[in-house]
Amino acid sequence: MNFTAKTIADFLQGELVGNPDVVVSDVSKIEDGVEGTLSFLANPKYEKYLYTTRASVVLINRDLSIHGTIEPTLIKVADAYKAFAALLELYASSLPRKSGTEQPCFIHPTAVIGSGCYIGAFAYLGEKVSIGDNVKLYPHVYVGDGVKILDNTTLYAGVKVYQGCAIGSNCIIHASSVIGSDGFGFAQGDNQHYKKIPQLGNVVIEDDVEIGSNVSIDRATMGSTRIGKGTKIDNLVQIAHNVEVGGDTVIISQAGIAGSTRVGNKCVIAAQAGLVGHIKIGDNVIIGAQSGVAGDIEDNRICLGSPAIDAGTQKKALVLFKKLPEMYKKLYELEKFLKDHVEK
């Protein structure tokens, strides 16, 4: 689709600087901009590309100071990143939408399916499944018995949702993720033989959650493993049985949360962080990449390291750690001096 700079500026309620009639039909990164595309500048470290990009239109923050000659038409907005995201959302909404039921697929006679849905080839919908309006189930999706999926949710190819789980509205689950597989529950008996503990609960995913590809969220032993409203989960994340994650929390790739841990609202769990089981993480907590969390964390804390400690303390410890070779050398020289002079 083609848009003029003026149309875009009017939509964003931005200030236009340059040719209002220039037309764009695609988007590009500012450093790789080509004629006929729209780009944006939000991160100051990319400002140098503003003076060299060949993009036809660039969104910038209103408070950005210009330090050179610029060829593209500019649209000044309060937040260039959010404005660009709004345009992408508008464009995505204009794309063709899949609908209808492809064959072959299996839909149990007791399944209830809302209006405007898309069910891809080789999908499986079990007994007493309930699907809301405008739900999209891409090819090879498995929906087990008794699963409920609310309106406007999308499950991409190969997603598996085990029996009894519930997914809210406006959710997105990307390819090959598994919702409701058995929790890792085993009891050690005689001769160190492990006996499986039946996992009888489910997984509840609230509204507006997005889950990346190859994520595994285990069903509860009893009750529910729960993902709160608005939470975003990156690819390759493991969430164990009976975990409860609050709303608007972000969990980044390769993080793992062990059983029965509670994570608060508006938290950030960075890449490769690991949380042991049966602990409580407060609201507004940030856990740094590769951190190992072995105990409770209070609200509004930033923690780093393994074991994870307060970020300020960890940074001081890292400074000292870098100086350990130098400190060891000085200690060795002092010990040698004392041995050569004092002891004699």
Distance CA 116, CA 23 (A): 34
State the sign of the Cα–Cα–Cα–Cα dihedral 46, 48, 53, 57.
positive
Distance CA 289, CA 281 (A): 16
* E strands, 142-243, in order: 142-143, 148-149, 154-155, 160-161, 166-167, 172-173, 178-181, 186-188, 194-196, 202-205, 210-211, 216-218, 224-227, 232-233, 238-239
Distance set, CA 87 to CA 7, 18, 35, 83, 163 (Å): 11, 20, 18, 6, 38
Distance CA 277, CA 68 (A): 55
Q: Which tokens hold the place of 173? A: 């689950």
Candidate list 193, 241, 278, 341, residue with the active-site label:
241
HEC per residue, 53-110: CCCCEEEEECCCCCCCCCCCEEEEECCHHHHHHHHHHHHHHHCCCCCEECCCCEECCC
> Is 241 noted as a catalytic residue in this protein?
yes
- Write out the DSSP string of 167-179: E-TT-EE-TT-EE
- Write out the DSSP string of 36-48: TEEEEE-SGGGGG
Burial label, 92 (beta-carbon count in 10 A; 0-12, 13-18, 19+): exposed
Q: Which residues are catalytic?
A: 241
